[in-house]
Structure 1
Amino acid sequence: MSRTQGPVPRKKPSQAMAVLGICAVVFIGFSLTLPGFLSFGNLLALARNISILGVLALGMAIVVIARGLDLSQVASMACSTAVTLILMNDGWPTPLALAAGLCIAVAVGLVNGWLISVVEMPALLTTLASGLAVLGITRSTAVQHFVVNLGPGHEQFLRLGGNLPGGVPASLVVFVAAVVLVHLFLSRTVLGRFIYAHGDNPEGARLTGLPTRPLTMLEYALCAGIGYVGGVVMIAQTALMHLQVVEGTLIFDVILVVVLGGVSLTGGRGNVASVVVGTLLIGVLLNGMTIMDLDIQTQNIVKGIVLLGAIVLDSVLHPRDEETSKQGD
């Protein structure tokens, strides 16, 4: 007897592949229309900017995959790296100063995770408040002015912001290394699988025995720690940290990269490839708008429209009824 088979379900389109295609079209369009876009100097600048944005987005992706959000990432990055610069200027050995800054960033992430998982405060308001608190504490105790400059005698450290033999930016190598490490962590380790399970169904993860509270603290600590790496690359490139970066749109650029690439705000979906393609598209867009000398308001309008489009696309590809059915609502 022959069996009657139902229709084969259609595979949903990959958001990452769609974004990669859009990025290729935008890159070709800018190459043909913007003078200097394909120049060696501009491509180097593009690679450096993409690297910093990409490293920050890798940390944010871990939290978003776990169905969270960290609005304090840029604040913890800026303040911890500012303290690192102060310690280096005071004569601390560079490795020790870097380790101290990392401890500060991770501590902020752990406090965020504790408040969210143990005190059960909303992630959005918690990280917004902690970012403001960290900035205020840093400004009142360590940084009297917004800018902290790196003093002379740190040429070895500044090489991290330069180019390797062959003209390859060292920051790009850091980004690639971070991509590989985060990919291996999320896809090949037990903790990585726990993070996906936590974001896919938090209540189900708790009922099956996953340590969701320590896991939440780990997620936010990783977000802050990886973000600190991006901050170290930034200060190596510029030899300074300007705390007004906290008040700018960098945190929204990071969230835009994550959501645009396909890391779903509903949790449990997305990967490192999503972050990479989102970083490429936003990096190319920002670089092109800078060459066109668009004012900051116009750039914000473009980024806002792109973010709204990414959220709509996320909702279309991952309807809310799928999420509620998984949780039994």
Structure 2
Amino acid sequence: MALKRLSQQGIVFGIFAVLFLAFAIFLPGFATTQNMFTLLQNVAVLGILGLAMALVVIGRGIDISLIAALAVPPGLVLQMVQDGSSLPTALAAALALSLVFGAVNGWLIAYAEVPSLFTTLATGLFLAGLGQAALFKLDVVQWSAGMDGFERLGQGRLLGIPMPIIVFAIVCLVVAFLLRQTRFGAYIYALGDNPYGARVTGIPTRPLIVLQYVLAALIGCFAGLVMAASVNSMPTRIFNSTMIYDVILVVVLGGIGLSGGRGGVLNVVIGTLLIGTMLNGMTIMDVSYSGQNLVKGVVLLVAVITDSFLNPRNEETAQQGDI
């Protein structure tokens, strides 16, 4: 199995290398420093969301509500500041909303034992509806004077490198540390590999599941703040976009098995680089949005089929009901 995982990761990286080289040779303007920064900056938020999804998928779950967590709490920050609240107060409110949202997701999955796919689909719809009905005055929440300075999180540069790229790198390091150097990470891999075995050995699986979804919601909120700072607004209807499929594509294509217990930060980075290169190349070639969705759909289907072969479901997984 370790050889299979290595082969999948190697294959995906090889595809990325070939695609990158082909675009560099045949697409004018692709292999420039400015375009490379643009490529990485455009997929930084997607990569951060991919890390949040990876934390859940490694533990044998899935979080369809991530885009709601991306849009609503950061949108609340912009709306509260626009209405006269201080930035620290607004950030505290968004943090509290994300914590409650993640905890509700985790409780429903861990204690009520509702499958994660249906739980997060329902809670994501609820949070998005709550934002549209009660929290936001307009679909696009605009920047206001009280947010001045905060835009550096998305538009600033450090040593010439755009801040979103640096933020993505920092989140990668933090998640890698959690997964590889802490007991929490070891427990997540054990949970994803064999939930019943993990419970028998004394691992607190239910609180662990709750913590997974809380962390995913917090990371999603942070990604939304980076996104809002990048464009000086929060388009709250992004929940209705296909972005969640892009996040799943990054995770699965990168080599994190949907059966759980496998993968890590490097897989997310590889998946993000491949998707970023593909989207950047199609944009330079002036491929329409519909055409890009068609290509992404085909790639996602191939990735899921490949995952089913390289990470086959075992009898225990079948009894578990997957995700």
TM bucket by the smaller chain?
Answer: over 0.9
1:262-281 superposed Cα distances (whole Å, 9 cap, x missing partner): 11100000011011100100
- Residue in 2 that maps onto 1:251: 244
Deviation at 1:39, TM superposition (A): 3.5
- Give the conservation status (yes or no) of the 8 Å contact 2:53–2:63: yes
- What is the rounded CA distance, in whole Å, between the counterparts of 2:256 and 2:15 in structure 1? 17
Deviation at 1:40, TM superposition (A): 3.9
- Give the conservation status (yes or no) of the 8 Å contact 2:81–2:146: no
Question: Is 2:254 the partner of 1:261?
Answer: yes
**Are the structure 2 counterparts of residues 325 and 137 from structure 1 closer, same or farther at C-alpha, using a change threshold of 3 Å?**
closer
Question: Is 2:169 the partner of 1:182?
Answer: no
Deviation at 1:67, TM superposition (A): 0.4
Aligned residue among 135, 138, 163 for 1:145: 138
Give the aligned residue type for 1:299. Answer: Q
Match of 2:257, SS state, is: coil
- What is the rounded CA distance, in whole Å, between the counterparts of 1:321 and 1:142 in structure 2? 45
Matches within 5 A, 1:272-291: 272-291=265-284
Give the aligned residue type for 2:104. Answer: V
- Give the conservation status (yes or no) of the 8 Å contact 1:146–1:242: yes
Question: Is 2:151 the partner of 1:158?
Answer: yes
- What is the rounded CA distance, in whole Å, between the counterparts of 1:246 and 1:10 in structure 2? 36
- Give the conservation status (yes or no) of the 8 Å contact 1:105–1:225: yes
- Residue in 2 that maps onto 1:317: 310
Deviation at 1:130, TM superposition (A): 0.7
- Residue in 2 that maps onto 1:36: 29
1:227-282 superposed Cα distances (whole Å, 9 cap, x missing partner): 11111110110010101210011111001101111111000000110111001001
Match of 1:148, SS state, is: strand
- Residue in 1 that maps onto 2:67: 74
Match of 2:294, SS state, is: helix
Unaligned runs of 5+ in 1: 1-8
Match of 1:157, SS state, is: coil
**Are the structure 2 counterparts of residues 312 and 136 from structure 1 closer, same or farther at C-alpha, using a change threshold of 3 Å?**
same
TM-score (norm 2): 0.93
Total equivalences in the alignment: 319
- What is the rounded CA distance, in whole Å, between the counterparts of 1:100 and 1:14 in structure 2? 45
Matches within 5 A, 1:1-40: 11-12=3-4, 13-40=6-33
**Are the structure 2 counterparts of residues 326 and 53 from structure 1 closer, same or farther at C-alpha, using a change threshold of 3 Å?**
same
1:277-316 superposed Cα distances (whole Å, 9 cap, x missing partner): 0010011111111222212221111111111111122122
- Residue in 1 that maps onto 2:299: 306
- What is the rounded CA distance, in whole Å, between the counterparts of 1:154 and 1:117 in structure 2? 38
- What is the rounded CA distance, in whole Å, between the counterparts of 2:310 and 2:209 in structure 1? 26
- Residue in 1 that maps onto 2:58: 65
Match of 2:161, SS state, is: coil
Give the aligned residue type for 2:274. Answer: L
Match of 2:145, SS state, is: coil
Give the aligned residue type for 2:15. Answer: I
TM-score (norm 1): 0.91
- What is the rounded CA distance, in whole Å, between the counterparts of 1:210 and 1:112 in structure 2? 20
- What is the rounded CA distance, in whole Å, between the counterparts of 1:183 and 1:189 in structure 2? 10
Which of structures 1 and 2 has the bigger CA Rg?
1
- What is the rounded CA distance, in whole Å, between the counterparts of 1:106 and 1:279 in structure 2? 26
- What is the rounded CA distance, in whole Å, between the counterparts of 2:246 and 2:79 in structure 1? 27
- Residue in 1 that maps onto 2:49: 56
- Give the conservation status (yes or no) of the 8 Å contact 1:57–1:258: yes
Give the aligned residue type for 1:57. Answer: G
| Identical columns (%) | 48
- What is the rounded CA distance, in whole Å, between the counterparts of 1:326 and 1:121 in structure 2? 15
Deviation at 1:10, TM superposition (A): 9.2
Match of 2:198, SS state, is: helix
